[in-house]
Each structure stands twice: as structure tokens, then as C-alpha cells.
Structure 1
Amino acid sequence: MQIVLVDDEHVSVFVTKKILEREGIADELHAFELPEEALRYVQQSIPAHIPNVILLDLNMPGLNGWEFLQSLQPYENQLLGQCFIYILTSSLDPADTVRSSEFPLVSGLIHKPLDRIQVRAIFDQVVTKQL
């Protein structure tokens, strides 16, 4: 499974990578602390090498998570059913959950830090949806 991690917090990237590595579900893991670089990577991967999962932080300088999602809207038809986006956030604002439901590419919202149970749930959900 190819996973793209987009988070500007170095410690959060480190912890998330360790959990994903420990659970062994990422055949390929690409971590980006700059969302603009991650967006370019995803856009260039279409259609031949679309990531299975994107773990996306919301609150980042420059291009935030919402803007990242808006930038992917032109590719929505190519990504639906192929790429599953999970928002990773430390925000407890219920408005974020409501807003995330407005994006068909978003499969869920997870409060940081990511844990092994959530990683397994993501894996199970993605595998089930791709069958």
C-alpha cells in the first residue's frame, strides 16, 4: 500500500511514520512537511501511480489541508475509489468534521496522534473499498 503523509510538524511526521512502519502496512511511504510538494507529487502520480492513502494535516502554513483538498477536486473522478484521504488533526472543532464531509475524497477524520488501532482500521477500510 502506498501512503502519502502530509504534515508540517516534524515530531508528528516522525511518530506517524514509526506507527505505520511498525504495523507494516506501507509498502511505500512518502512523507512531506511542505504541502505544496505533496500536492505536486500526488498530481504527478495521476493516473499511473496513485497513492492508496493520503494522511493529511489541516493546519499548515502556506497551503493548508482544506486548500490541498480543493486543489485535488479537478482530479476527483480519477482518485475516487483509488485514493483514500484521512485528515489527521489536533483540532477538536466539530466544524472540521462537518466540513470534511463536504469532500468526497475524504474517508475520515482522525485526531492526532495516530495509533495502531486507527492504522488497522484504515487498512481494513481501504482494502474493503478497493475489492
Structure 2
Amino acid sequence: MLDLIMCVDDDPITLMLLKKVIDKAAFSKETITAQNGEEALEFFKSLKNTLTKDTTTNLPQLIFLDLNMPVMGGWEFLDCFNTPEYLNFNDIKVVILSSTIDPEDISKSKTYPIVIDFLPKPITTSILDYLKTKI
């Protein structure tokens, strides 16, 4: 079981279902959410100021990321998150959750070393069981 994961999605129903499935599967002790990539980056900026070299407390171990969101989408988030400004967080793995499985998007996701998988929505307990083997 992971200690903390982050779900970045603009749809409140998707976030609610995701949290329920995560709880049912005992996948994570705590789940935090962000409504778009910009909100997620703000969370990490605020954490960056409290980090020391010896602590990784309160860091999500995994991010579930939607691609199509207002304000800042998943691709823009990944582009920013992979800059030196967020170097302290490069151990956090990302799973892209998308309602469309476009082969170009799947190929693009493989260009980001932190992205460990590209999976369809909605998430299920069997998908979480599969992810346990990859983390």
C-alpha cells in the first residue's frame, strides 16, 4: 500500500470514483486531488519550500494524470514537472488516465521517463492490482 497518491483530473465524478476504487483496493492510505495541472504544480511548489535532503514526507508516490483539462492539461503539466525546478520530485511516478486511447498519445507518453503507464478510464481494482506490480 502506498502512503500518498495524487489524482489530477478536472471531473469531480471521476475523482470521486477514483478515490472509492483506491480505498476499496487498499491501494493508498491517502489520496489528494488537483483539478488541473496548474493546481498540481502549485502543490509541488509549496512542498518544495519544506523539503530537506533527508525527508520525503508528504510526497505523493504516484500521480494519476488526466490529459484533457482546462487551465493546464496533462501534457503541459508533464513538460513543467520535468524541468529542473521540480528536480526534487523526479522519483514520483505518473500514470496517465485517459478516456481516449490515441496511439500518438501513448507514444508521446513514453518520451517522459516518469510516466510508467497509459491506462483507460475508469480505473478499476484490477488495474490497481496490475499497477502494484509496476511500482
Scaled by the length of structure 2, the TM-score of the pair is 0.84
RMSD: 1.6
Mapped partners of 2:101, 2:29: distance in 1: 31
**Which residue number corresponds to residue 109 of structure 1?**
118
Q: Give the alignment of 1:78-93 within 5 angstroms.
A: 78-80=88-90, 82-93=91-102
1:45 shift after superposition:
3.0
Q: Residue type matched to 2:89 in 1?
A: L
Q: Residue type matched to 1:78 in 2?
A: N
Q: Which has the larger radius of gyration?
A: 2
Mapped partners of 1:39, 1:114: distance in 2: 23
Compare the two structures and name the one with the higher helix fraction.
1
Partner of residue 40 from structure 2, selected from 38, 43, 47: 38
* Aligned residues with identical type, % of pairs: 28
Mapped partners of 1:85, 1:43: distance in 2: 17
**Which segment is superposed worse, 42-51 or 2-11?**
42-51
User: Aligned residues, how many?
Assistant: 125
Mapped partners of 1:114, 1:42: distance in 2: 24
Q: Is the 2:95–2:118 Cα contact (8 Å) retained in structure 1?
A: yes
Q: Is the 2:97–2:118 Cα contact (8 Å) retained in structure 1?
A: yes
**Which residue number corresponds to residue 22 of structure 2?**
20
CA shift digits 1:10-31 (9 cap, x unpaired)? 1111111110011112112101
Mapped partners of 1:92, 1:9: distance in 2: 18
Mapped partners of 1:107, 1:78: distance in 2: 18
Mapped partners of 1:70, 1:50: distance in 2: 19
Task: List gaps (5 residues or longer) in structure 2.
Answer: none
